[in-house]
Amino acid sequence: MRNHDRREFLKFMGRSGLSLSLLPFINACQSLGLSSSPPITAIEPSAKDDLVLSPGLNWQKLISWGDSLNSSELFGFNNDYIAFVPINDDEAILWVNHEFPHPLFISNYSRGSKRTKQQVVLEQKALGGSILKIVKTKNGWQYLPNDPVNRRIDGTTKIPFANNETIAGSKFAIGTFGNCAGGYTPWGTILTCEENYHDYYGEVIKTKQGFKRVHAYDEFAWDKFFNYSPEHYGWVVEVNPITGYTKKHTSLGRYAHECATVTEARDGRIVVYSGDDKNDECIYKLISKEQNSIDKGDLYVADTKNGKWISLDIEKQPLLKKYFKNQLEVLRHTRFAAHEVGGTALDRPEDIEIDPQTGDVYVTLTNNKPKGNFHGSILKISEKDGDAAALEFQASTFLAGGELTGFSSPDNMVFDRKGNLWMTNDISDKAMNNPPYTKFKNNGLYYIPLRGAHAGKVFQVGSAPSDAELTGPCFSDDGRTLFLSVQHPGATTKDLKKPTSHWPDGGNSTPKPSVVTISGPALDKLVL
């Protein structure tokens, strides 16, 4: 163990509360070779422009950016969260998020050149989400072009606010975008999360002095052509995958929602966990009023230092009345309210998943570079008495990123049928393969057993093509297929004639974000 590794390991042991006296025992077991054989053969980190997988895992392309869903709609760009909605053993509907554009690929816009409205419309159309029918064949799952269920929800779709609310003078928003991760409800709908919404129409920031409008990041800056309120974005959108009906929920608050992970409390109320992916922002949970709707509920922010969920209800927090007229205004400016009532600033909360066997809530905290945290960690929250509606919990660090654990900047997660964890990571495209990330090479897919001889060990089982991030891991109902998004291959491309990735088609082709299916004997061995 090199000094650097040992330092990180000791730091992890300290944070996780494990006894340092176990160290010699672990070392002795390793040197005697007492550990059982690994559940899957790990791969070495790779810088190859390909999707590289462990032996016994195979991938196939399911659908790529630009593929036809029907005669008028195309599969969007930068696919992210995936939800699998079963119809029967051989048919299912897939929901796929489309997060952000790469203007050079989509609209041939490069920074500094003249921007046109047509370019912005192409980008709006490439984001949101896709609904597509898939069928199981002897060659695995395939998508069915022109199926009546196929449709797009995008940056131009008219979407009402739930409860007939009016936000910034309108009962509906135009479009959804920044759709990062999401969740699904027990009643068969999808939740898709608007994450970095401020890049498109800017933001209205709440300060102690009042409200301040800021304009958008200049590469996207749709606000140069469309006068839409920034407050129409940053919500969680519920989508019915059969009818295509959508609504934006105000109950979950407005911030850079990464995910919306749904579970049921002991009394049948619905609990939705969500994180705000920004440095020093918080995690939240909504406890619904009703058992089959999240239109209305009580929103809480986590105080992870004291293990408490703090109410964001203006009637229970007189302090909030100093800054806000009513509860809807609190929800429109959730970040400000959360810090006022004592929500804990965290290191960029990303995905949240719930251990199906214990109810423990796992939260990836991807990194916080200004604070010197480059590799992030996975936080574990154990709700009091295992009830998702509890207002007290215990928090601990499950794993810290770094060279010892073998991953950096954790992002999406999913549990498999056996209750083991799969995770992807997100080292940003410019930082990848450079210090302090050099050793991790391209972004990856990781398998982390939670039980048995290898509990808590991290096995890298996939490596993404150049500049890409693997996102949206999602299992088919039988567990034998892992759907995975390959997002932003070739993201650092500056010249369309010289893309930095040619994945998935090879040769001198343009890179295409795509959804792949992963299956094979190594996966069967882990999940069946």
Summarize as ranges the residues that interact with ligand FEO (CB under 6 A): 99, 180, 195, 258, 277, 350
d(CA 330, CA 306): 23
Out of ligand FEO, Ca ion, none, what residue 429 binds, judged by CB under 5 to 8 A for its kind, is: none
Using CB distances below 5 to 8 A depending on partner kind, what does residue 351 bind out of Ca ion, ligand FEO, none? Ca ion
- Which of ligand FEO, Ca ion, none is residue 50 near (CB under 5 to 8 Å by kind)? none
- Comparison of 170 and 428: residue with beta carbon closer to ligand FEO: 428
Of 398, 380, 382, the closest CA to residue 390 belongs to 382
Two tokens at 123?
A: 């980008």
- Compute the least distance from the CB of residue 469 to ligand FEO, in Å: 8
Which DSSP symbol is given to 22?
G
What's the closest the beta carbon of residue 334 comes to ligand FEO, in angstroms? 16
Q: Does 99 bind Ca ion (CB under 5 A)?
A: no
Contacts of 351 (CB under 8 A, 6+ apart): 181, 258, 259, 261, 275, 363, 364, 411, 412, 413
Ranges within 331-350 binding Ca ion (CB under 5 A): 350
Residue written as token pair 């109410």 = 311
CB distance 298 to 316 below 8 Å: no
Separation between Cα atoms, residue 174 and residue 158, nearest integer Å: 5
Cα separations (Å) of 177 from 72, 123, 364, 400, 476?
20, 10, 22, 31, 26
Indicate which of Ca ion, ligand FEO, none lies near residue 195 (CB less than 5 to 8 Å, by partner kind). ligand FEO
Least distance in angstroms from the C-beta of 462 to ligand FEO? 18
- Region from 310-318, 394-402, 414-422, 505-513 binding Ca ion, contact rule CB under 5 A: 414-422
Question: Of all helices (H) and strands (E), which one includes residue 134?
Answer: strand 128-137
**104, 201 contact by CB (below 8 A):** no
Task: Tell me the closest approach of the beta carbon of residue 363 to ligand FEO, in angstroms.
Answer: 12
Q: Least distance in Å: CB of 376 to ligand FEO?
A: 11
Min dist. Cβ of residue 166 to Ca ion (A): 31
Query: In this chain, which stretch among 174-182, 221-229, 249-257, 262-270 interacts with Ca ion, using CB under 5 A?
Result: 174-182
Of the pair 99, 340, the CB lying nearest ligand FEO is at 99
The CA distance from 366 to 168, in Å, is: 33
- DSSP alpha helices (H): ranges in 280-378? 327-332, 334-341
The residue count for binding Ca ion (CB under 5 A) is 7
- Does 351 help bind Ca ion (rule: CB under 5 A)? yes
What is the rounded radius of gyration, in angstroms, for the C-alpha atoms of the chain?
22
Cβ neighbour number for residue 242 with a 10 Å cutoff: 13
With CB cut-offs between 5 and 8 Å by kind, which of ligand FEO, Ca ion, none does residue 340 bind? Answer: none
Closer to ligand FEO at the Cβ: 476 or 485?
Answer: 485
Tokens 């309210």 correspond to 337
CB of 348 to ligand FEO, least distance (A): 7
- 199/350 with CB nearer ligand FEO: 350
Binding piece for Ca ion, criterion CB under 5 A, among 128-136, 175-183, 432-440, 482-490: 175-183
Q: What is d(CA 146, CA 104) in angstroms, rounded to the nearest whole number?
A: 28
Question: Which is closer to ligand FEO, CB of 57 or CB of 431?
Answer: 431
CA separation, residue 262 to residues 150, 182, 246, 362, 429 (Å): 25, 9, 18, 13, 30
| Structure tokens belonging to residue 271 | 């609990």
Structure tokens at 201: 């129409």
Q: Which of residues 243-302 bind Ca ion (CB under 5 A)?
A: none
For residues 157 and 176, give the distance between their C-alpha atoms in angstroms, rounded to a whole number.
7
160: tokens are 């009402």
**Residue among 231 and 258 whose Cβ is closer to ligand FEO:** 258
Contact between 143 and 134 under an 8 Å Cβ cutoff? The reply is yes
- Taking each continuous run of H as one helix and of E as one strand, the counts in the chain are 8, 33
Does residue number 238 form part of the binding site for Ca ion (CB under 5 A)? no
**Minimum CB distance to Ca ion smaller for 129 or for 303:** 129
Q: Which of 49, 199, 298, 426 forms a contact with Ca ion (CB under 5 A)?
A: 426
Tell me how far, at minimum, the Cβ of 157 lies from ligand FEO, in Å. 20
Distance CA 56, CA 41 (A): 9
Residue nearest to Ca ion (CB): 426
In whole angstroms, the minimum distance from the beta carbon of 489 to Ca ion comes to 16
Residue 491 carries which side chain, given as an amino acid letter?
A
Positive or negative, the CA dihedral 317, 321, 327, 328 is: negative
Tell me which stretch binds Ca ion (CB under 5 A): 218-226, 311-319, 380-388, 409-417. Answer: 409-417
Binds Ca ion by CB under 5 A, chosen from 411, 416, 429, 467: 411
| Nearest-approach distance from CB 514 to Ca ion, in angstroms | 17
Q: Residue 99 binds which entry of Ca ion, ligand FEO, none, with Cβ cut-offs from 5 to 8 Å by kind?
A: ligand FEO
Task: Name the residues that contact Ca ion, by CB under 5 A.
Answer: 180, 350-351, 411-412, 414, 426
